Amino acid sequence: MDNKGLTKVDLIFESVDVRKVMTKAFEMTSEEIIQEILESGLKGRGGAGFPTGLKWKYTAAEKDPEKYIVCNADEGEPGTFKDREILDKVASKVYAGMAIAGKAMGARKGYIYLRGEYRFLLPQLFVELHKFHKMINEIGYDFSIEYRMGSGAYICGEESALFESIEGFRGEPRNKPPYPTVSGLFSKPTSINNVETLVTAVMIIEKGPQEYVKLGTKDSRGSKVFSISGDTPIPGIFELELGMTVQEFVNEFGDGDTKAVQVGGASGFCVPRKKFAETIIGFEGVPTGGSMKLFNSSRSMYNVLHNYLDFFTEESCGQCTPCRVGCQQLLKGVEKVKKGEAKSTYLNELVKLADTMKVASKCGLGQSVGNAFRSIVENFREEIIY
């Protein structure tokens, strides 16, 4: 096992000379920028984990003169709050990542889609943005950024739903393909990246990919900002090297009585105590956009599951049947089993439904409901029934 233990890192919030990085990137060719990101092995930090260098490369390869870089700041996954902190503390690095991405793929315009819940940050973000625009103009960049706000819809964190929302429509995901790199915002080639991904790209350009690959494992390069909450004496935001096991994580952040860790939010996986030692946090084990929730033995996993299903039932956009009806039926189903109105074997039927949602749902929302459902029902069956 490629086990690295638990190491704290300071890349994302580290203060850097943004002008210097922007000047360095300005002197690089598009190919050189993309090559460095490819070599770093950086995968998207929003949760899905698509290689960032490839996304930029595909967008750069499109011939259309009009392209967009979109920053996904619609951080809605339960238990994730790192993007807010990044924008609050180092907004200029987010802007820098967008401008560098723009240069790499030939986009002159960037949009940041910020969730409505974070609107209070806007005045300060505008001040930073004004300074940033002035600075890159002096260097010679032909690039600008605009904010677009969300209005309380979790689904708009899904990339194509986010485009729909910016375009002024209901946030309903599109069919794929075509992928955003071919036809994204306003049907133009678009690279859409998470807040943290863009900042990480800036640090890779600053330090060079050789430095960056020293961190993490083969499948999960680098470090990651974790949002840690639940039953922990030290909740908060921590940047950690990738490659640790859940056990090592719990040793540092647990309260001594941790029975389960939900990795990746409501759409992620529940890891029970007996699997802490064997489970790696990263793409080779349990992937995460950063959400880590700890539960101790005083918590009912039925309540946890019920809360997640309630969340998905409300946040499903309702467009496709497997997700709209599936979420409702899973919620009603576990309620019935809990009340004794259905036999415990009914849970097996519900797991089948969750599996069907995984293959039949149109987007990541419906496809991921089964992750939490299956991992909680399989590991804490008795808590759901009794």
Partner 1 sequence: MYHTGNLVKELAEKHGRKRESLMPILQDIVKKYNYLTDESMVEVATELDISAAEVYGTASFYTFLDTQERGKNVIRVCKTITCSMKGKNDIISTIEDILKIRVGETTPDKMFTLLETNCIGWCHKAPAMLINDMPYTDLTPETVIDVIKGYMRK
Residue 307, CB-side half-sphere exposure with 13 Å CA sphere: 11
Report whether 82 contacts 7 (CB < 8 A).
no
Q: Is 257 a binder of partner 1 (CB under 8 A)? A: no
Residue of the chain from 137, 140, 169, 214 that contacts partner 1 (CB under 8 A): 169
Residue of the chain from 43, 45, 67, 84 that contacts partner 1 (CB under 8 A): 84
Measured in degrees and rounded to the nearest 5, phi and psi for residue 160 equal -75, -30
Which H or E element spans position 148? strand 144-149
Residues 275-304 close enough to bind partner 1 by CB under 8 A: 293, 299, 303-304
Q: Is 36 a binder of partner 1 (CB under 8 A)? A: no
Please, what is the minimum distance in Å from the beta carbon of residue 29 to partner 1? Answer: 33
The amino acid sitting at 1 is: M
Q: Is 8 a binder of partner 1 (CB under 8 A)? A: no
Report whether 87 contacts 94 (CB < 8 A).
yes
- Rounded to whole angstroms, how far apart are CA atoms 87 and 198? 11
The gap from C-alpha 368 to its chain's centroid, in whole angstroms, comes to 13
- Tally helices (H) and strands (E) across the chain: 14, 9
Residue of the chain from 16, 28, 149, 213 that contacts partner 1 (CB under 8 A): 149
Q: Is 70 a binder of partner 1 (CB under 8 A)? A: no
Q: Is 167 a binder of partner 1 (CB under 8 A)? A: yes
Q: Is 151 a binder of partner 1 (CB under 8 A)? A: yes
Q: Is 90 a binder of partner 1 (CB under 8 A)? A: no
Residue of the chain from 87, 266, 376, 377 that contacts partner 1 (CB under 8 A): 266
- Rounded to whole angstroms, how far apart are CA atoms 157 and 327? 18
Q: Is 119 a binder of partner 1 (CB under 8 A)? A: yes
Q: Is 77 a binder of partner 1 (CB under 8 A)? A: yes
Stretch of 247-255, 267-275, 312-320, 345-353 lying at the interface with partner 1 (CB under 8 A): 312-320
The radius of gyration of the chain from alpha carbons, rounded to an integer in Å, stands at 21
What is the CB neighbour count within 10 angstroms for residue 1? 10
- Rounded to whole angstroms, how far apart are CA atoms 293 and 315? 20
Residue of the chain from 59, 60, 69, 75 that contacts partner 1 (CB under 8 A): 75
What is the sign of the dihedral through the CA atoms of 38, 41, 42 and 48? Answer: positive
Stretch of 91-99, 100-108, 168-176, 270-278 lying at the interface with partner 1 (CB under 8 A): 168-176
Q: Is 214 a binder of partner 1 (CB under 8 A)? A: no
Stretch of 19-27, 58-66, 170-178, 374-382 lying at the interface with partner 1 (CB under 8 A): 170-178
Torsion of Cα atoms, 320 then 324 then 326 then 330, to 10°: 160
Interface contacts to partner 1, rule CB under 8 A: 75-81, 84, 115-120, 148-154, 165-172, 186, 227-231, 235-237, 266, 293, 299, 303-304, 307-308, 311, 314-315, 317
